[in-house]
Structure 1
Amino acid sequence: MGDDVSGRAAGPGVDVFGSNLSVAELRRRTGDLSAVAGIRQVVLDNGVERGVRAIDLRTSAGLELEVLVDRAFDLGSMRFRGAPIGWRSGNGFRHPGLHEHNDEGGLSWLRALDGLLVSGGLDHTLFGGEVDATRYNYPPKQTVTHGLHGRLTAIPARLLEAREVEREGRVVLRVVGEVIQATAFGEHLRLTRTIELDFDGREVRFDDVVDNLGFDPTPHMFLYHINVGWPFLDEGARFVAPITKHLWQSDSVAEQGTSYRVMPAPIDGFVEQVTEHELVVGDDGRHRVALITAGGERGIELSWEAAGMPHFFEWQNLRSGQYGIGLEPSTHHVSGDAASRQDGTALFLGHGESRSYSTTIRVLDGVAETSAVEAAIRAIGDQPD
């Protein structure tokens, strides 16, 4: 039985443990679809995670995903047939009440960095600093100070929907949440995030809409820190992308000389390496990259609409005990907030204006599938050595 591009069985109905059944046929065999796949709401209840609401989604293909409602509706753990995919830093999914936005010179965001997806924004991403705030017409607030990747990470979401949806004879697991980032005399931005998994699928689709509920033109910056850990990241794993050139690299790239293409085993004391790649856009208007294990047994493909997030960073944190790689679509160049205001590339949303983002994370299973994805990316463009 062949798979389509979503990683689910081709044809009508749902694929359940080797059998293709209509939804009606499946319901004849179980009184509760959650026996096979479904959605469960939980509350984490120990340590720094205590009190964090989460949603567990599970497909019949063996994909498990954790949505962290109280962590900006970001994605925590993800596993495929028991193998972890989302990177774990050791921080845990800290309760937002523990977040320290301005501590450690604005780098305290690093204490909240954990899991498959940590979103940056909504009015600031990249390194922190002080920027003009006179547009808000509040004399005591002439500037605003930002920490690394902004305030979004520590804002709880409002859960709007969590249910199974039937579409044309198929079942989709769907959750929707909204996050409001607001202050008096400042920004009033809303993120509405819709996450969907096919009942029998191996991909995560999330669509985001950011709109301005306020009446002042408001800066908007947005970034996805999509983090993959062992065993999808391991010695010999290949980063595959259609790259024309490197727009920027951290000093550590030249100092350490670690390849951005082929990953080493964990290294004691490794200094993070960051590269901004200029990617070629596919004919479908999407950027597409992949991380594939040395033997091609498994991998992850990431694709997103290039118009919304034209920039992309590769974050290599190959340090022992924190071994991970970050794939980071971004609205802005790595030079950040102040530079974008100076060169005219800054984004501002007026009242009622919005921007939309569409992203897919797909689990690749087997050499045939990873080879096909690598060939498809190579058809878009090659990459430098």
Structure 2
Amino acid sequence: MKYTKLITSAAFFIMLTTTLAHAKTYILTDTEQNIDLGAWKVSGPNYSIEQRVLRGGKQEGTKVITLTSDHGLTIALSPTRGMGLLYAKGQGIHLGWSSPVKEIVNPSYIQLDSRNGLGWLDGFNEMMVRCGYEWTGHPVVADGQIYSLHGKAQNTPASYVAIHIDDKAPYAIHIKGLIKESTFKKSDLQTMTELVYVPGESTFKIHDVLTNHADYPHDYQIIYHSNFSQPILEDGAKFIAPVSEVSPFNDYAIKGLETWSKYLGPTKNFDEMVFNLKPIADAQGNTLAALINKAGDKGVSIAFNTAQLPVLTLWKNTDTLKQGYVTGIEPGTSYAYPVTIERAQNRVKQIQPNQSIDFELTYSLLSSAQQVKATEQRIAQIQGNHKINQLKTPIAKE
């Protein structure tokens, strides 16, 4: 009897280790099960995925996951910083920007209500930031509270992080992270973020699912603040997207309305200039926006659906290189005005109890004139004969 038990236990151990050896799902963090793997790495035939834990300064304890693909992209994101994308690169092209904030700042060192609600800027250096989901936009005091700049999601560490690798072609890699905005008496919004990448490709997808776990409806807003700089952004670079309307965000942007889609090189004393856009989509609601370099042989595009993300913001911050030379392409449910203005103009949406809402975006690195031309043709096709209406004054005043 004891011998039989020994054989059974040994067989079970072999079966268990074999299963683990071929496991395609790896849980890196799970607060419910008290799991935190810290430093971790896995490799495949044409990829590697590594999680590092940063040390020192304001990045102490920050986690960074880097996915590297042979002949494809290298993508870095931070579970500590709301699963925000730090950068993507490939074919000698870097997607992201150089912020004066050099560390990947741990949210424990950030006070969102500092500088009259602008504390969010103390950690702002990512390629893509989720601005939301409880609220977004410029800070404002209303309803007896401070609505700090661009919400809390980006400074909320993920409560659950898992990596899944498909066992069937094309063997996509999924990096998931759960962001909880759960506050007693206020909200219980939870977003399962997901980055999907097929090794070797020059595109990747973001698929986020926002769920209201509360028993009451709740407002929500989201802006996918996507930031790019050199080598694509330069003097003579251009922004393209099918749009029906362009308006200046504020009085300062009025002076740049005639050249809203064109870029300067690094320019001292250039303050940020923002434009509100109404995107046009095809019959399925699909559209895209792109940044193209002067020569027309490098670029980046973002595809999204206007049923999920109905508005588009263009942020031009062509200041000096040290100050932060960058532009933002920002699909969203709202513009960057304070939540009070967005609510008054009916752009704040509401999610019902137990309801889930999907958001999908596809980022593509364009590394040749042929790829740029194909993107330009697709945008021109969606634009069709629609004229662009340029409003001369802002649609709101802060």
Distance apart, 1:260 and its partner CA: 2.2
Distance apart, 1:217 and its partner CA: 2.0
The 1:48–1:259 alpha-carbon spacing in structure 2 relative to 1, beyond 3 Å, is: farther
Distance apart, 1:165 and its partner CA: 1.6
Which among 44, 53, 65 is matched to residue 43 of structure 1? 53
- Is residue 38–residue 173 contact of structure 1 (8 Å, CA) maintained in 2? no
The 1:246–1:344 alpha-carbon spacing in structure 2 relative to 1, beyond 3 Å, is: closer
TM-score (norm 1): 0.84
**1:75 alignment partner in structure 2:** 85
The 1:329–1:362 alpha-carbon spacing in structure 2 relative to 1, beyond 3 Å, is: same
The CA deviation string for residues 284-336 of structure 1, in whole angstroms up to 9 with x for no partner, is 31221111111122110101111111011000010002100001111124444
Distance apart, 1:70 and its partner CA: 0.4
**1:209 alignment partner in structure 2:** 209
- 1:263 aligned partner, one-letter code: Y
Distance 2:284 2:161 in 1: 31
- Is residue 61–residue 202 contact of structure 1 (8 Å, CA) maintained in 2? no
The 1:144–1:350 alpha-carbon spacing in structure 2 relative to 1, beyond 3 Å, is: farther
**1:135 alignment partner in structure 2:** none
Distance 1:257 1:170 in 2: 44
- Is residue 131–residue 222 contact of structure 2 (8 Å, CA) maintained in 1? yes
SS in 2 for 1:110: helix
**Residue 148 of structure 1 pairs with residue 159 of structure 2:** no
Q: Which runs of 4+ in 1 moved over 6 A?
A: none
- Aligned runs of 1:116-265 on 2, under 5 Å? 116-132=127-143, 143-167=144-168, 169-255=169-255, 259-265=259-265
Instruction: Number of aligned residue pairs: give it.
Output: 343
Distance apart, 1:241 and its partner CA: 0.8
- Is residue 248–residue 257 contact of structure 2 (8 Å, CA) maintained in 1? no
> Which segment drifts farther, 121-130 or 244-253?
244-253
Matched residues, percent identical?
22
- Aligned runs of 1:15-94 on 2, under 5 Å? 34=44, 36-91=46-101, 92-94=103-105
CA RMSD of aligned residues (A): 1.9
Distance 1:369 1:277 in 2: 24
- In the alignment, structure 2 segments of 5+ residues that lack a partner are 1-41, 391-398
**1:110 alignment partner in structure 2:** 121
- Is residue 247–residue 278 contact of structure 1 (8 Å, CA) maintained in 2? no
Distance apart, 1:256 and its partner CA: 5.5
**1:379 alignment partner in structure 2:** 381
**1:269 alignment partner in structure 2:** 269
> Which segment drifts farther, 188-197 or 211-220?
211-220
Distance apart, 1:242 and its partner CA: 0.9
- Is residue 53–residue 63 contact of structure 2 (8 Å, CA) maintained in 1? yes
The CA deviation string for residues 71-125 of structure 1, in whole angstroms up to 9 with x for no partner, is 0011002211343211121213211101111111111212221111111111110
- Is residue 54–residue 62 contact of structure 2 (8 Å, CA) maintained in 1? yes
Higher alpha-carbon Rg: 2
Distance 2:342 2:257 in 1: 30
- 1:114 aligned partner, one-letter code: N
TM-score (norm 2): 0.81
- Aligned runs of 1:311-322 on 2, under 5 Å? 311-320=311-320, 321=322, 322=324
- Is residue 60–residue 201 contact of structure 1 (8 Å, CA) maintained in 2? no
- 2:268 aligned partner, one-letter code: D
The 1:51–1:345 alpha-carbon spacing in structure 2 relative to 1, beyond 3 Å, is: same
- In the alignment, structure 1 segments of 5+ residues that lack a partner are 1-31, 133-142
